[in-house]
Chain A
Amino acid sequence: MSGLDAQMVVRRNGFVLDVALEIEPGRTVALLGPNGSGKSTVVAALAGLLPVDEGSIVLDGAVLDDPTGRVFVPPEDRRIGVVFQDYLLFPHLSVIENVAFGLRSRGVGRSEATDTAAGWLERLGIAELVERRPGDLSGGQAQRVALARALITDPKMLLLDEPLAALDATTRVELRRILADHLAAFAGPRLFITHDPTEAFLLADEIHIIEHGRVTQVGSADDIRLRPRTPYIADLGGSNLFSGDAARGVVDVGGHALHIADTHISGSVLATIHAHAISLHQHRPEGSPRNTWETTVTRVEHFGDRVRVQTGAPLPITAEVTPGAVADLELREGSAVWVSIKATEIGVEAG
């Protein structure tokens, strides 16, 4: 098949990574997991910085690593563009020399490599940084330089290791958009590593959850959010995510008004509401919650000591409650229920 087909088993100091990944060209997969779950080992194995102990890595029909077949293609011949965590820009080279590095290493002449690099800086909107040193760049600028450096070699696959983790919240939103554009423009398979569910939900076509060196769930953002298979996934997938327009303390989500605590933010925003921050009631609740509406239960799902309750119009949302609450409220598919959310429980960021 074209695209990536990898079965990777790596054993190191008692840690075992056993992960299979299939990514078709033009698809973005997010590998989402906590620290120490083996995400960086996956990057190293795919990039060729760490040979697999068992399994195989095949990209575009070419075998890159296969211990039984005694095949190991070194990193310099793999044509996988990598954006590393912390970017790893070469501190002794200027921005343009960093971007041109891949072409120069492949034997392209200096002036041609520099011209092409200048074109990429232009495309990423950082043409003015040409002669700067990496030490003088902001996180967002460094990320774009790293992206240009990886893309310039025309790689067969794009691999991004926590590309947004080093950025502050404001820059992250902007860079996430830029990243989304460039991911969409890249024709090959794309894999990005993250520990942030919001990034995964927004950027990936398919999410693979990795825990303790193994993939525990594969699916769409909705699969992960609504049908989590482990407590870790339930926690990170517990957020309801809406995009809308904010003005004067209200976010308009497809005609439904969500009251939020921040009265200053305006324009296009992302609102997140954790499932366990949502209360369900049999009757119209008394008290202060700013967001209250009546709806019907569309689905009730038990896992362990928690229950996920999905509700329908006007704003489909998933709440997490205890089995006791489900019994008390007599919740089942089709039953009427009141939803209430405090304005302070809604996270809002520009998006």
Chain B
Amino acid sequence: MSRRNRPPVALLILALLGLALFAVPLVALLIRTPWGQLPALLRSDIVADALRLSAVASVSATLIAAVVGVPLAWLLARVEFPGRALVRGLVLLPLVLPPVVGGAVLLFALGRRGVVGQALEQATGLVLPFSTWGVIVAVTFVSMPFLVVTVEGALRNLDARFEGAAATLGASRWTVLRRVTFPMIWPSVAAGLVLTWARALGEFGATITFAGNIQGRTQTLPLAVFVALESNRDAAVALSLIMVAVSLTVLVVLRERWWKAL
């Protein structure tokens, strides 16, 4: 390296200090991990239940987001209607709202005495709070905005003339969506889905507020970590390790190509 290219020392020190904030906890976690007991810990009830529940909730939230979030993104990107800015703000609100507040508003709306929750219980007998369905609603509420934001951005950036060209070739509006619009924004949709899933997996505040913390029914991985910190440190470490491994894998797999789509 020539002298010219050598970075200024002060800058380097600050950068390494910043990096330490992220690296040290990870190293500490690896040191603290009871590797020998890990297989047994991962098979314990509390860990297995949390794993299963987190998988169910995060995958369900991602699927729901795909089914209703992509059309919502399309609506926001392509249809002009009065109050669109307000609707967009509403959709993005969970991104900035403290998740606990998110859980609280869900409770006001969908709780047993909530505006919609009461009617829902009378009509179908379904009670959302303190149920697995409640977990799914809470994590979807918090994670779906990631998909909507990503897909809406991709639709806005897509050159609409391609869709016009497809129409002149005889493609119906549905065919245009299926064969041109969707394939062209697919990298962004995929990135949005992965982000949504990762956020759903890590959701804590809205879940514990709206769905409570019942092992096997509403206790997801982050909730289990929180509980285990008090009662069983080794289990907490094992659970943390799982979450770190999954998150890191997602980030590495996404890599440059998909990040660019954001």
User: In the assembly, what is the distance between CA of A44 and CA of B160, in Å?
Assistant: 13
A interface residues, Cβ below 8 angstroms from B: 44, 47-49, 74-82, 84, 88, 90-93, 101-102, 104-106, 149-150, 153
Query: 0/1 per residue, B122-153, Cβ < 8 Å to A?
Result: 00000000000000000000000000000000
Establish whether residues B171 and A84, one from each chain, have CB atoms under 8 Å apart when the complex forms.
Answer: no
Establish whether residues A105 and B161, one from each chain, have CB atoms under 8 Å apart when the complex forms.
Answer: no
Known: A80-B168, A84-B165, A88-B165. 12 other contacts (CB 8 A): A47-B168, A49-B164, A49-B168, A75-B168, A76-B168, A76-B169, A76-B170, A78-B168, A79-B170, A88-B161, A105-B170, A105-B179
User: Which residues of B, 19-53, contact A by the 8 Å Cβ criterion?
Assistant: none
User: Which residues of B, 170-202, contact A by the 8 Å Cβ criterion?
Assistant: 170-173, 175, 179-180, 183-184, 186
User: In the assembly, what is the distance between CA of A247 and CA of B180, in Å?
Assistant: 51
Establish whether residues A101 and B183, one from each chain, have CB atoms under 8 Å apart when the complex forms.
Answer: no
Establish whether residues A84 and B161, one from each chain, have CB atoms under 8 Å apart when the complex forms.
Answer: yes
Partner among B161, B164, B171, B184 whose Cβ is within 8 Å of the Cβ of A91 = B184
CB distance from B158 to the nearest CB of A (A): 11
Is there a chain A Cβ closer than 8 Å to B246's Cβ? no
Q: Using A49-B164, A88-B165 as known contacts, say yes or no to A106 and B183 having CB atoms under 8 A apart.
A: no
Partner among B159, B166, B172, B186 whose Cβ is within 8 Å of the Cβ of A101 = B166
Partner among B161, B165, B168, B183 whose Cβ is within 8 Å of the Cβ of A92 = B183
Is there a chain A Cβ closer than 8 Å to B167's Cβ? yes
CB distance from A163 to the nearest CB of B (A): 14
User: In the assembly, what is the distance between CA of A78 and CA of B167, in Å?
Assistant: 9
Partner among B168, B173, B175, B183 whose Cβ is within 8 Å of the Cβ of A82 = B168
Establish whether residues B169 and A101, one from each chain, have CB atoms under 8 Å apart when the complex forms.
Answer: yes
Establish whether residues B180 and A90, one from each chain, have CB atoms under 8 Å apart when the complex forms.
Answer: yes
CB distance from A148 to the nearest CB of B (A): 12
Is there a chain A Cβ closer than 8 Å to B162's Cβ? yes
Partner among B167, B169, B172, B186 whose Cβ is within 8 Å of the Cβ of A49 = B167
Please provide the 7 A-B residue pairs with the shortest distance between their CB atoms, ordered closest to farther.
Answer: A102-B169, A105-B171, A75-B167, A88-B165, A105-B170, A82-B168, A49-B164
User: In the assembly, what is the distance between CA of A77 and CA of B172, in Å?
Assistant: 9
CB distance from A218 to the nearest CB of B (A): 26
Q: Using A90-B180, A91-B184 as known contacts, say yes or no to A82 and B165 having CB atoms under 8 A apart.
A: yes
CB distance from B211 to the nearest CB of A (A): 41
Establish whether residues A101 and B171, one from each chain, have CB atoms under 8 Å apart when the complex forms.
Answer: yes
Establish whether residues B171 and A90, one from each chain, have CB atoms under 8 Å apart when the complex forms.
Answer: no
Which residues on the B side are within 8 Å of A101 (C-beta)?
A: 166, 169, 171, 179
Establish whether residues B166 and A90, one from each chain, have CB atoms under 8 Å apart when the complex forms.
Answer: yes
Which residues on the B side are within 8 Å of A88 (C-beta)?
A: 159, 161-162, 165
Which residues on the B side are within 8 Å of A75 (C-beta)?
A: 164, 167-168
Partner among A74, A92, A153 whose Cβ is within 8 Å of the Cβ of B169 = A153
User: In the assembly, what is the distance between CA of A80 and CA of B164, in Å?
Assistant: 12
Please name 22 pairs of A and B residues whose Cβ atoms are closer than 8 Å in the assembled complex, sorted by A.
A44-B164, A75-B167, A75-B168, A76-B169, A76-B173, A78-B168, A88-B162, A90-B162, A90-B166, A90-B180, A90-B184, A92-B183, A92-B186, A101-B166, A101-B171, A101-B179, A104-B179, A105-B170, A105-B172, A105-B179, A150-B169, A153-B170
Establish whether residues B169 and A105, one from each chain, have CB atoms under 8 Å apart when the complex forms.
Answer: yes
User: In the assembly, what is the distance between CA of A90 and CA of B186, in Å?
Assistant: 14
Q: Using A90-B180, A92-B184 as known contacts, say yes or no to A48 and B168 having CB atoms under 8 A apart.
A: yes
User: In the assembly, what is the distance between CA of A119 and CA of B262, in Å?
Assistant: 40
Which residues on the B side are within 8 Å of A104 (C-beta)?
A: 179
Establish whether residues A76 and B172, one from each chain, have CB atoms under 8 Å apart when the complex forms.
Answer: yes
| A77 (CB) vs chain B CBs: closest residue | B170
Which residues on the B side are within 8 Å of A150 (C-beta)?
A: 169
Q: Using A88-B162, A90-B180, A105-B175 as known contacts, say yes or no to A149 and B167 having CB atoms under 8 A apart.
A: no
Partner among A81, A90, A93, A106 whose Cβ is within 8 Å of the Cβ of B168 = A81
CB distance from A105 to the nearest CB of B (A): 4
